[in-house]
Amino acid sequence: MLTQRIIPCLDIDNGRVVKGVKFADLRDAGDPVEQAQRYQLDGADEIVMLDVSATTSGRATALETVRAVRRVLSIPLSVGGGIRSVDHALALLAAGADKVGVNSAAVEHPELVGDLSDRVGAQCVVLSIDAALREDGNGWEVVTRAGTNRTGIDALAWAQRAAEMGAGEILLTSFDQDGTQDGYAIKLLEAVRGVTDLPVIASGGAAHARHMLDAFQAGADAVLAASIFHNQTTTPNQLKSELAESGVEVRMP
């Protein structure tokens, strides 16, 4: 039986791991290779790396980081952040990513998803959706450019289009919950689950196993977290033991 995944996320800026709250206030949190290796040993099912570098040299460094992480990693590596062209995505795949995630550029140029999918297959293409509750509280809209741009695009309509556009997975981050440790955005997750058959990774807000259980029950196939792993509050294996007791199918060591 297919198990539910726990995915530690590394935000990378200029070759270093950083962590912020609501996509801002970035602090240095370590070496990506060391951390990826530790997470792998601790039972991570996959690693997501998001390049948050704002500069060209930072993005070049990200390719080096992907190569270095790939050398030590025997589990899947998904890479996203600032991917604006098919060539950029192909370079990341050649460097050792198994999947690439597109976000802002896909909103601006939806054909990017299909072009990429035609080249590498849908299973390598992740549509990253950053969603925020609308200011009137009525539904969710897609936000881009690290949350600074509210697009007005309905997040559910966008998620519904993911499969036909050529994506093989959705990484759904709640802008409202990110970094809060108040739990995943369960209503958003349930709503997205209702409009797509693609695998959905829940992201933003995890503090403990209970939050992850809620996300799985709301229809997530995988849960992503950053802070709780950086802070060494817990490990994927520890969370899996707790989740298994609640009846969630997980890969045990």
Partner 1 sequence: MTDPEVVILNTGIANTASVIAAFERLGCRVLLTDDADTARNAELLVLPGVGNFSSGMDALLETGLDQVIRERVEHNRPLLGICLGLQLLCTSSEESPGVHGLGVMDASVTRFPAGVRTPQHGWNAVGDGYAYYSNTYRIESIPAGWDGIYSTHGGEFVACLSRGSILACQFHPELSGSWGESLLRKWIRTSVEVSSC
Residues in the site for partner 1, rule: CB under 8 A?
A: 1-5, 40, 45-46, 67, 70-77, 93-98, 120-124, 168-169, 197-199, 221-222, 251
Kindly report the backbone phi and psi dihedral angles of residue 14, in degrees, each rounded to the nearest multiple of 5, phi listed first: 55, 40
In whole angstroms, the minimum distance from the beta carbon of 168 to partner 1 comes to: 5
Question: Quick one: 211 or 240, whose CB is closer to partner 1?
Answer: 240
| Residue 250: C-alpha distances to residues 1, 76, 105, 144 (Å) | 10, 16, 34, 32
Question: Quick one: 136 or 164, whose CB is closer to partner 1?
Answer: 164
* Cα 29 to Cα 27: distance, rounded to the nearest angstrom: 6
The total of other beta-carbon atoms located within 10 Å of residue 250's CB is 20
Question: Quick one: 126 or 188, whose CB is closer to partner 1?
Answer: 126
3-state secondary structure of 13: strand
Q: Which of 148, 205, 150 is nearest to 172 (CA)?
A: 205
In whole angstroms, the minimum distance from the beta carbon of 75 to partner 1 comes to: 5
Q: Which of 27, 36, 84, 13 is nearest to 229 (CA)?
A: 36
Question: Quick one: 63 or 146, whose CB is closer to partner 1?
Answer: 63
Instruction: Choose the catalytic residue: 42, 130, 176, 178.
Output: 130
- Lookup: tokens for 22: 């609501």
For residue 140, how far is the Cα from the chain centroid?
18
In whole angstroms, the minimum distance from the beta carbon of 170 to partner 1 comes to: 11
In whole angstroms, the minimum distance from the beta carbon of 197 to partner 1 comes to: 7
In whole angstroms, the minimum distance from the beta carbon of 76 to partner 1 comes to: 5
Q: Which of 48, 67, 56, 47 is nearest to 14 (CA)?
A: 56
* Cα 95 to Cα 93: distance, rounded to the nearest angstrom: 5
Question: Is 42 marked active-site?
Answer: no
Question: Quick one: 169 or 176, whose CB is closer to partner 1?
Answer: 169
The 3-state secondary structure of 42-75 reads: CCCCCEEEEECCCCHHHHHHHHHHHHHHHHHCCC
Catalytic (active-site) positions: 11, 130
